[in-house]
Amino acid sequence: MKISIAQQNYHIGNFETNTAKMISAIKEAKAAGADIIMFSEMSVCGYPARDFVEFNDFISKCYEAVDLIREHADSIAVLIGSPARNTIQKGKDLFNAAFFLYEKEIKAEIHKTLLPTYDVFDEYRYFEPAYEWKVVPFKGKKIAITICEDIWNLGDNPLYRICPMDQLMEQSPDLMLNISASPFDYTHDEDRKSVIKANVQKYKIPMFYCNAVGSQTEIVFDGASLVFDKDANLCAALPMFEETLVTVELNEDGSIKAPILEPASRVPDKELNPSTLEPALNIAQVYDALILGIRDYFSKMGFTKAILGSSGGIDSAVTLAIACDALGAENVRAILMPSPYSTDHSVNDAVMLSKNLGNPYDIIRIDDVFHAFTKTLEPVFNGLPFSLAEENIQSRTRGNLLMGIANKFGYILLNTSNKSELATGYGTLYGDMAGGLGVLGDCYKLQVYALAKYINRNKAIIPENIITKAPSAELRPNQKDSDSLPDYSLLDQVLYQYIEKRMGPAEIKAMGYEAALVDRTLKMVNNNEYKRNQFCPIIRISPKAFGVGRRVPIVGKYLN
């Protein structure tokens, strides 16, 4: 039996494009002699469709798309994902479903059992869990079909009370097919492989796993679909961050004949991974995820050109380099906005960076605008000394200029804030926190430096001075980040334990971190939730990103 895996990039609610893409893949699979082609979870409408599924019209369009695809499932079986209506009066109105199409008919409708409600997932808000579990007979084989989370309930501490594959094994299936929309983070590739392998080791039958690829606002799906034979040997690993169709052959004895594929991802040079921060691992994957995040956000929204503030600092430099790679240097405009406190070397570094990248840039001094603001406010400020207010006026002036140019020429402003700054509130609302998409908002400062080294792996693109100089906002004389924040080598460690690992202050202190550092850091994080709540979407690359995957109250006493 030949099975094709179609790893595709869908556009939420773009039924015409999604359907055409799947029909094209079906034709390709037929030409390869495939018996079955499988697509990812919610392939018909894109994932996650969120509250769109509450519209009856949206669900009707899903069924119309299923019917169109069904007409092409004649000599080949087609496995697709879509919402399905629940005809039982009790419970949610919808299932997260897989449709098994063959001979132009819906031969089976499989419902997802395990509905995740953690991190970025909120499926129980919309869907009812499966009521029954049945294998699908096809060409003398019995197929166990599951959907994403259904295969993750293994291990010593299962999250759910039921395991769908345990139910299906009572009917002696010959193989497993799983359709998924499993998001990327820098730890997930190996986790995913180990979970799928554990399923094969437990059930002793081959597994074909099809994952989505592409970015949906802040969530990046990396593909990396997999095939294991009955002995848990990895037989095929589809590339990360790329659309791919691969056909493999399942032999009668459970062995698998698969084509030789390119490596699933680029392996980063180990010297790029600072030993002081675990998330710096897999920096090549992080880079590719950010590229895909920018590229899909722009293409799916119909945008073509980006703008950003280029300060001569590491964050704007890395953002600019990644954006040029994603969109083309000619489509990314850098605006240098020196203030009375900007150093000449910062301006020169920013100019050199744009020349290295070949992107257009402008230099607009903000001195006159800044002085106009301060002069206007003189009667109100009443002679009080220079303070944070004057620093933020400079930042908001830059934000206004960037948005003015963006509005005039149709650019989208890319935000350059990193996760360390967002965590501690080291940023200005409506100033350097302005933007339509946060590129580095899920990357700690040390990860940003690792990205810079990765960008420079073949040649010097980011000037060395940008990488080696002490980071500074340059909003007052001789300012450095270390004036307001702990050293990033320590700060990022504490932030990582608190945000990603969800450790409390006592646990972090027990790891050897200074008590005052821990208390100060956690207080900064919690006091600045109001800022993050007003921030733009952030491309998610970690297991716990700011945004939809982290929900804490703005008004709360805990650790404040």
Residues 367 and 449 in one domain: yes
Q: Is residue 208 situated within a structural domain?
A: yes
Residues 322, 447, single domain; the answer is yes
Q: Which residues make Cβ contacts (< 8 Å) with residue 532, sequence separation at least 6?
A: 422, 546
Quick one: 444 and 317 in the same domain?
Answer: yes
Going by the DSSP 8-state scheme, the letter that residue 74 receives in this structure is S
Which residues make up each annotated binding site for L-glutamine?
118, 182
**Chain position carrying tokens 């953690």:** 118
The two structure tokens encoding residue 390 = 């004057």
**Could you tell me where the DSSP H helices lie in 154-276?**
164-169, 188-203
Binding-site annotation, residues for deamido-NAD(+): 392, 421, 531
Domain with residue 374: its CATH number is 3.40.50.620
Q: How many independent structural domains does the chain possess? A: 2
Claim to verify: residue 217 and residue 274 sit in the same structural domain: no
Specify if 82 maps to a domain. yes
Q: Is residue 87 part of a domain?
A: yes
Q: Of 503, 404, 435, nearest to 427 (Cα)? A: 435
Contact in structure between 39 and 27 (CB atoms under 8 Å): no
Would you state the structure tokens that stand for residue 221, as one six-digit string?
């799906």
Cα–Cα dist 234/207, whole Å? 10
Q: Among all residues, which ones are annotated catalytic? A: 41, 112, 148
Q: Do the domain assignments include residue 280? A: yes
**Tens of pLDDT along 1-34?**
999 999 999 999 999 999 999 999 999 999 999 9
Give the DSSP letter string of 421-449: HHHHT-S-TTTTT--SEESSTTS-HHHHH
> What predicted TM-score, i.e. pTM, was given to this entire model?
0.94
Per the structure block, which two tokens stand in for 262?
A: 């390119």
Domain boundary among 203, 232, 257: 257
User: 483 falls in which pLDDT band (50, 70, 90)?
Assistant: confident
Q: Is residue 264 part of a domain?
A: no
Tokens of 552: 């804490």
DSSP for 257-320 reads: E------SSPPPPGGGS-TT-GGGTTHHHHHHHHHHHHHHHHHHHT---EEEE--SSHHHHHHH
Structure-token match 């790893």, residue found:
7
Same-domain status, 320 and 203: no
Q: Are residues 8 and 72 in the same domain?
A: yes
For the chain, what percent of residues have pLDDT higher than 90? 88
Rounded to an integer, what distance in angstroms lies between the CA atom of residue 422 and that of residue 401? 22
79: β partners: 38, 100
Main-chain dihedrals φ then ψ at residue 517, nearest 5 degrees: -65, -45
Model pLDDT for residues 484-515, shown as the tens digit of each residue: 899 999 999 999 999 999 999 999 999 999 99
CA quadruple 104, 107, 108, 109: dihedral positive or negative? positive
Tell me which of 4 and 346 has the higher pLDDT.
4
Identify which has the larger pLDDT, 433 or 556.
Answer: 433
Q: Are residues 386 and 277 in the same domain?
A: yes
The mean per-residue pLDDT over the stretch 348-355 comes to 97
Amino acid at position 223, single letter = G
**Lateral strand order in the sheet of 105-111:** 105-111, 94-102, 77-85, 36-38, 2-7, 244-250, 256-257
Does the structure show a pLDDT above 70 at 280? no
CA distance 1 to 252: 8
- Which of 85, 68, 57 lies closest to 16, judged by CA? 68
Asked which of 191, 224, 257 is the last residue of a domain, the reply is 257
Where does a domain end: 257, 283, 317? 257
- What rounded mean pLDDT belongs to the chain? 94
Q: Is the pLDDT of residue 273 over 60?
A: no
Pair 439, 417: CB distance under 8 Å: no
Q: What is the CATH number of the domain that holds 41?
A: 3.60.110.10
Q: Does one domain contain both 296 and 172? A: no
Q: In the predicted model, is pLDDT for residue 264 greater than 60?
A: no
Percent of the chain with pLDDT over 70: 96
Q: Is residue 263 part of a domain?
A: no
Parallel, antiparallel or unpaired: strands 141-147 and 175-180: parallel
Can you give the residue range of the structural domain that contains 30? 2-257
Query: What's the pLDDT tens digit per position in 41-67?
Result: 999 999 999 999 999 999 999 999 999
- Considering the domain architecture, whether residues 332 and 197 belong to the same structural domain is answered as no
Burial of 523 from C-beta contacts in 10 A (0-12 / 13-18 / 19+) = middle
- Burial bucket for residue 275 (CB in 10 Å: 0-12, 13-18, 19+): exposed
Binding site membership: which residues? 118, 182, 309-316, 392, 416, 421, 531
For residue 343, the model assigns a pLDDT of 81
Same domain, 388 and 432: yes
Q: What are phi and psi of 419, to 5 degrees?
A: -70, -35
Confidence of residue 559 (pLDDT cuts 50, 70, 90): confident
Same domain, 196 and 284: no
Residue 557 lies in a domain: no
pLDDT band at 297 (very low <50, low <70, confident <90, very high): very high
| Same domain flag for 200 and 332 | no
Is residue 212 in a domain? Answer: yes
Asked whether residue 207 carries a pLDDT value surpassing 50, the answer given is yes
Mark the binding-site residues for ATP, compressed into ranges: 309-316, 416
- Long-range contacts of range 259-264, CB-CB < 8 Å, 24 or more positions apart? 261/236, 261/237, 263/239, 264/189, 264/224, 264/237, 264/238, 264/239, 264/240
